Structure 1
């Protein structure tokens, strides 16, 4: 089902066309087998990087595509409509580049950023811990100064690309100063003492491996600290605003796929002498699914346009993440209902869409946290 889009430039239209072509030729033939076997598609990120699709929202002088964030997010949505695990991976990878691109020195950017944006280096974002999910200020992983650099000890949890990434953008405690005790480091995958837990046994997104990252006295050179000492909390929260939009776009693409599958089935399946799409009760369900998907798209695009205009967008990012991921859960649930018993089988992809949708309401801040963020913004504005 084609999505009506209003793109700012002809270059953006070409990028969307390129994305659809890559998704059709490179992703679609592989998605079912890779998800069934839980095989992470590492080479896909190189393909996307070489096509320039991983660097879109970053400045051209940094080696990026110099595209508006609204264009980048629509690329993520198009990828998610074909392979959600890859779209989530693209969003996570972009998140790992953000601290270096926004807070790194020119020397750090010149040394590392090109390979990251080009897809030759795949990143993991190490923020969450078992006891410090939404409450990141309570993290325990700690870096201590040693031999002119740092030594990191602790464990991060629920990390996408763990054991498959080339670097780990890691947030760790460098002192116990309230609000300023966390710093950001770029840890290479071959650092001594860096280890990994076994893959989490998840209900969905099998192509996006998630595991613990274990820092067992990992030595890190001093020049791998990104930003100032104690600036990590501000960097992480700033990055999460952008990351929430990536998840919102991916969730919208997932909802669109479920809607497309349900609509196609409803136009073919016959009951009581006519196709089921002609029954008003089911037609209304499809209409509600379309309204939810379109609303999700509108929410993330509005937030992205605020970001592109240099205006505050934190509240709108939280709204977009909340609206889009709740929409994905509803639309994928309803898609199974439209297909009936067939939707509950693995013969059709909607059961996979349903399983993939659930976690979008949890990562990048649970939707309960999004409500808290929205409420704080709202009450602060009114005050």
Structure 2
């Protein structure tokens, strides 16, 4: 699915060119040597998004002012160039592309799995909303467009709410944008969670040997009617200086054996739930889009016991491309032997013969 990856001034890599086969690859090395950056670059190339960087400028190699990521993905040649002064420039098949939606239409699907996924259970609601948004944006370009419009309008409206001089007409104009796009976001999130609950519950049972029941439920931050609730909370919003209802207040509720997972699940159960959520993501994307995602697995297998590790491998689609980072190969136990192995050290990636 991803047959070639090329980097320039990306994180610790001055340059990198990798050929990949259909099964994927193993990247071995100590921490902070660049393994995860390779997965991050793949995610950036395919989805224009890094799960680890809040800003694109954070990915530019130190003492440089631009980066490049390019590669062959799903039979399309893609290229990204970013600089702080010119922003992001995109190309598909060597031709400039102005709209991100057009670029994304040429790419494919991604599932990122890492040890930080435990924050899906422990962390704030914003972590779980980002999880849903990453899925929703891959399921539908319509969802991604609505999300971008909603977030921009929300930021502008909150700025107006902090300014006592702002007019009602200005607030109402942005509220209308929130309503139009928020309704689509809420509807699609609700449908996603319903499907994810069934899939994640099944994965949880398989990883926990049938001993645990995981359930997901969607809690809308918009109430029954977003337009009506925006009107009802207007005075409170003026007082607080922020919009208090809408999809940005949605919550994804997780329960294990009927109890709130964040409060009652053990650490082992929480890690299993995180794996179940990401494996369910992959299965949902495959079912909805009719093609396999690429799995980016960031150093998760060294942390798992043999039973869970085998269960995860059993749930990963055999034909899916899997790019895996690890600090050692002791856990392999004869699995995943067909993938090439690379040693990563100080921003240098070399094939292990």
Higher relative contact order structure (alpha carbons within 8 Å, sequence separation ≥ 6): 2
TM-score by length of 2: 0.28
TM-score by length of 1: 0.26
Identify, as 1 or 2, the structure richer in helix.
1
